Structure 1
């Protein structure tokens, strides 16, 4: 199974996830969506699979610094626009596992996905 990890290299959770994969000897590709960009279609696929609420990181500094007007009336379309404009608002890491996708890092979940 080919795994593709999306995130920002200096994110602590992304670092932890990549270290875990390296220690487990699991090959993966890394995509820095701040530097390399993010296609709207790919983000839409994540939103379709997981829901925009799961993909948008409301606890992150980038989201918290938004004007209240930008946070008001948040829906799928507005959330997608915000995430495309500022990819740091995407919960990290996003992992594509062949046909599946996940956000965040959980060693137990990732171990189960690799065992499947």
Structure 2
């Protein structure tokens, strides 16, 4: 079963969940608004994907906080642990250990078909 981390109002998360339902891929949803991602989990994700992919500089939360795109990876890590809406969504943990970030139908189709 895949684990989908995101928020219910995010368009990309909605697309990912619709894809999993349509393709009968079992998934569990983890709401980033109510579940805190631990530092250990973030470290695990960073071993699989770069900070540049996990940290969302295009979202509303990034703009609202007035953050600079020039902040260091350590600063980004610190921000992600306190403002989970700064994660690019969805984050999908696959059964084989792969980590997908964002929604790309072509990538999902290759991975789950």
With normalisation by structure 1, the TM-score equals 0.89
- Aligned counterpart, 1:45: 44
- Equivalent residues in 2 for 1:24-103, closer than 5 Å: 24-67=23-66, 70-71=67-68, 74-98=71-95, 99-103=97-101
Structure 2 unaligned segments of length 5 or more: list them. none
- Alignment partners' CA distance in 2, 1:106 and 1:90: 16
- Aligned counterpart, 2:112: 114
With normalisation by structure 2, the TM-score equals 0.91
- Alignment partners' CA distance in 2, 1:76 and 1:21: 32
Task: For residue 88 of structure 2, give the secondary structure of its aligned residue in structure 1.
Answer: coil
- Alignment partners' CA distance in 1, 2:59 and 2:17: 20
Q: CA deviation at 1:40?
A: 1.3
Q: CA deviation at 1:73?
A: 5.1
- Aligned counterpart, 2:21: 22
